[in-house]
Amino acid sequence: MAKENYILLLTLCTNYKVEIDFIRDLSENDLLEITYQKTEPFINEEVLTRLEKILRLHQDLQINVAGIDAVFNLLGQVDDLQAEVQKLKNRLKIYED
Amino acid sequence: MDFIDYYRVLGIDKSASEADVKKAYRKMARKYHPDINPNNKEAEKKFKEINEANEVLSKPDNRKKYDKYGKDWKHAEQFEQAERQQQSQGRGRSQGQNPFQGGGFEGGDFSEFFGSMFGGGKSAGNSRQSKFRGQDFNAELELDLRDVYETHKRTLTVNGKSIRLTIPAGVVDGQVIKIGGYGGQGSNGGTSGDLHIKFSVKNSTAFKRDGDNLLTTANLDIYTAMLGGEITVDTFNGKVKLKVAPETENGTKVKLKGKGFPVYKKEGAFGDLIITYELTLPKDLSAEEKELVQQLAKLRNDG
């Protein structure tokens, strides 16, 4: 495990001012992956963007973990649909003057 | 710069209580929050509006000032000054202080109206400042189809930083590329965010793009169409001579392999160029031409 790409969970919780239990809750709901080195929990830096989004949904909009899971599923569908719409729009240009 | 009715923005009455303001704001934030409205500029604009309304109406001092001067906001500062002069001397006052330090949501820029009334044109919200990893930036780059026919370099300025960018040939309209580390700076030892560039590819050429293929039409006079021959047609990067078979019908399609658009990130690979023949009829026929055509028609009809 390349250590520079992983952040100690405790450091992360301090910086983001978030309870460690909340992160564990996210992990239990498969919203975030916690990696263990020996017994120390770490978070991969690559998932920080996702974590920040989760925190905004939770703190700004008071959405609980189950709600966040549902929002993420729907956002995944929105992404797919937007990509499909863009593809279709590009195809439709063939018929435009 | 126009007066903004913050009550209307949040859809509440002037007599709304603090709890009503909070409730209305939260309801609208859930609807327009940028995280649940990806790539929706309208929602982003609306979110900024409700955020600004909330900054004013959820804070008693701001709301009082807003209610007091309302539509006379242009003179609010003068009124305040006059009032200050009338008041007893020596009273402490924190002049010029932005009342919104430490505000909640991400706000981005606030309106000119807000700035003129409360000072400061930007949200001082801290919640979106980097706590660890830097923020991701989004930018849009408009290109012409000709620009993306070849891989080229371009220098962009994003948030005051110059970025030398290689744009690969074959980029598609609406495609987003991520440039790692060119977002906002991280803090507390965190890495920088990423820059997401969305390409908007406009087409001012005579060619239509269908994936990696290019489509175009070529005019073909009826004599060449009937008897066969040779014509010169434009491709995206030059001209080619084409042999036309005798008795070619209107709408016939010809495929020129490898003369289409470059395939994204596959060097040397190109799509095809598909040419559709459009037969053209001669106009303003002379008397002699008419006679000859009539003879032709007679021959054809009488067998």
Q: Three-state SS for A55?
A: helix
Residue A94, min C-alpha distance to chain B (Å): 6
Residue B264 has pLDDT above 90, yes or no: yes
At a CB cut-off of 8 Å and minimum separation 6, what does A83 contact?
none
pLDDT, one tens digit per residue, over B161-176 is: 888 999 999 999 999 9
pLDDT, one tens digit per residue, over B38-77 is: 889 899 999 999 999 999 999 999 899 898 876 665 566 6
pLDDT score at B131: 66
Distance CA B60, CA B185 (A): 35
**Inter-chain residue contact A12 with B132, CB threshold 8 Å:** yes
How many beta-carbon pairs below 8 A join chains A and B?
60
pLDDT, one tens digit per residue, over B87-131 is: 544 333 333 333 222 233 344 567 777 777 776 554 434 345 556
Q: Cα dist. B112→B68, B101, B109, B118, B150 in Å?
A: 19, 17, 9, 10, 43
**Inter-chain residue contact B210 with A60, CB threshold 8 Å:** no
* Cα–Cα nearest to B135, from B69, B208, B190: B190
CB B185 within 8 A of CB B192: yes
Q: What is the ipTM of this complex?
A: 0.84
Q: What mean pLDDT comes out for the span B184-195?
A: 83
Q: Which residues of A touch B38 (CB under 8 A)?
A: 75, 78-79, 82
pLDDT score at B85: 60
Q: What mean pLDDT comes out for the span B158-162?
A: 82
* Residue type (1 letter), B223: Y
DSSP conformation class of A8: E
CB B191 within 8 A of CB B199: no
Residue of A71, A90, A94 with shortest CB distance to B36: A71
Distance CA B194, CA B180 (A): 5
Return the CA Rg of chain A: 18
* Residue type (1 letter), B162: S
Q: Which residue has the higher pLDDT, B100 or B282?
A: B282
Chain B, nearest residue to A53 by Cα: B35
Q: What mean pLDDT comes out for the span B141-158?
A: 93
Tokens of residue B183, six digits:
């977002």
Chain A, nearest residue to B208 by Cα: A94
HEC states along chain B? CCCCCHHHHHCCCCCCCHHHHHHHHHHHHHHHCHHHCCCCHHHHHHHHHHHHHHHHHCCHHHHHHHHHHHHHHHHHHHHHHHHHHHCCCCCCCCCCCCCCCCCCCCCCECCHHHHHHHCCCECCCCCCCCCCCCCCEEEEEEEECCHHHCCEEEEEEECCEEEEEEECCCCCCCCEEEECCCCCCCCCCCCCCCEEEEEEEECCCCCEEECCEEEEEEEEEHHHHHHCEEEEEEECCEEEEEEECCCCCCCCEEEECCCCCECCCCCCCECCEEEEEEEECCCCCCHHHHHHHHHHHHHHHHC
pLDDT band at B278 (very low <50, low <70, confident <90, very high): very high
**Inter-chain residue contact B190 with A86, CB threshold 8 Å:** no
B3 in A contact zone (CB under 8 Å): no
pLDDT, one tens digit per residue, over A15-68 is: 888 999 999 999 999 999 999 988 999 999 888 889 989 999 999 899 999 999
